[in-house]
Structure 1
Amino acid sequence: MKLVLATHNKNKFIEIRSLLPEHIELLSLDDIGCKEDIEETGDTIDENAIIKAEYVRNHYGYDCFADDTGLEVESLAGAPGVYSARYAGDEKNDEANISKLLNQLEERNDRTARFKTVIALKLNGHENLFTGICEGSIINEKRGNNGFGYDPVFLPKGYDKTFAEMNLEEKSKISHRARAFRALVEYLSQ
């Protein structure tokens, strides 16, 4: 079975490839000649994942899966949510995004947050969604040098280390993305 992962990110591709069953040949957007960045115009994380998977299916004819992730902060009514990557502007700057988030939470006591990943799978004419959630909170200052995005300020529930203080193996056991991909892999393995 050939399946496209809608990404240009080589590290994500390698990580996901290692999780999939042997009988699945995984292709990246580069492998199928898709050079464009697929615009994420959805109003929700689910919609953005679906848009990317549909784009590949409709324009290139391959079965495909795509993911989208957002950080949802309780006291900010779920923001940044679908706008997590461009919270502080279209340049998608992690440092600026974290600064804006911390500024917005400065006067708030409730720092409850969760990371949410949704994977949309377009396979044999059917669509399936797989969701992974990691509950936690936003701390007051950055800690750690691993990971990316909001990892230095996200403290998973029940842990004393931020995602950025964890190594990849530790983070992969509990992360939102890992949970969503485990559900996808379980489905594909059946």
Structure 2
Amino acid sequence: MTIILASSNAGKLREFKDFLKEFKVRNYSEFIAPFHIEENGADFKENALIKARAVYKALKSQNPKALKNAIILSDDSGISVKALDGAPGIYSARYSSDIVEHPTEASNRAKLKSELDKKGVFSSPAFYTAAIAAISDIGGFSECVELGFMHGNAIADERGENGFGYDFMFIPQGYELTIGQLSEQTKEALSHRTQALRAILPHLKALAKG
């Protein structure tokens, strides 16, 4: 059974491979040329489905053999900060698009720090959300979406070297270190993506059994 990940993010690919060890996890770009997917959904669930459907449709037309015995898996995730009225939320990956033409993880973190500074806030309650969508032709076409969360605080500082995205600015509930300062094992246990993967895993295993 192959999991085809609808993402080009190396950090996400590594996390999916670490969790889904019983599956062969491959990036969709191994089967077709990468392409832009417009994430215009109203929430994380919608965006996760948009990505999974886009990759499924592209594979169906360009490389249908890749879909045999395979599951398309996508995720949409982001951080919501209370002091910023829930921002950046679903716009987490492109939060700094009003500042730079091509937002990067570094430019997004810089904007988050700037926005917290403007509020005069160093630390604010925040939470991560991950929505994971699975699409497959196995046993007939099916779609499934599950959510996972991680609560804690966002800070106007960057600490640590482990992780990606906003991990260096997020302290999970019950900890004093940022995700970027914690070990991979601890991060994996706490991760919003891990929680969503745990929720969707029974569906994936059911598909694997045919």
Which structure dedicates a bigger proportion of its chain to helix? 2
- 1:52 and 2:51 matched: yes
Q: Percent identity?
A: 34
TM-score, normalisation: structure 2? 0.79
- 1:98 and 2:109 matched: yes
Aligned length: 189
Pair 130,108 (structure 1): closer, same or farther in 2 beyond 3 Å: farther
Judge conservation of contact 1:50–1:120 (CA < 8 Å) in 2. Answer: yes
CA distance in structure 2 between the aligned counterparts of 1:140 and 1:131, rounded to whole angstroms: 27
Kindly state the Cα deviation for residue 108 of structure 1 after the two structures are TM-superposed.
Answer: 5.2
The one-letter code of the counterpart of 2:163 is G
CA distance in structure 1 between the aligned counterparts of 2:183 and 2:159, rounded to whole angstroms: 13
Question: Secondary structure at the residue paired with 1:30?
Answer: helix
Q: 1:171 aligns with which of 159, 179, 187?
A: 187
Residue 38 (structure 2) aligns with: 39
Residues 13-35 of structure 1: CA distance to partner in whole angstroms, max 9, x if unpaired? 3442343363x444321222242
CA distance in structure 2 between the aligned counterparts of 1:114 and 1:10, rounded to whole angstroms: 22
CA distance in structure 2 between the aligned counterparts of 1:142 and 1:69, rounded to whole angstroms: 20
Residue 136 (structure 1) aligns with: 152
Pair 169,42 (structure 1): closer, same or farther in 2 beyond 3 Å: same
Pair 140,8 (structure 1): closer, same or farther in 2 beyond 3 Å: closer
CA distance in structure 1 between the aligned counterparts of 2:96 and 2:21, rounded to whole angstroms: 38
Kindly state the Cα deviation for residue 88 of structure 1 after the two structures are TM-superposed.
Answer: 1.2
Gaps of 5+ in 2: 61-66
Judge conservation of contact 1:74–1:112 (CA < 8 Å) in 2. Answer: yes
Pair 150,13 (structure 1): closer, same or farther in 2 beyond 3 Å: closer
Which is worse superposed, 52-61 or 112-121?
A: 52-61
CA distance in structure 2 between the aligned counterparts of 1:142 and 1:18, rounded to whole angstroms: 25
Question: Secondary structure at the residue paired with 1:116?
Answer: strand
The one-letter code of the counterpart of 2:92 is S
TM-score, normalisation: structure 1? 0.87
Question: Secondary structure at the residue paired with 1:138?
Answer: strand
Q: 1:114 aligns with which of 127, 143, 148?
A: 127
Judge conservation of contact 2:112–2:156 (CA < 8 Å) in 1. Answer: no
Gaps of 5+ in 1: none
- 1:87 and 2:103 matched: no
Q: Which runs of 4+ in 1 moved over 6 A?
A: none
Judge conservation of contact 2:11–2:163 (CA < 8 Å) in 1. Answer: no
Which is worse superposed, 172-181 or 56-65?
A: 56-65
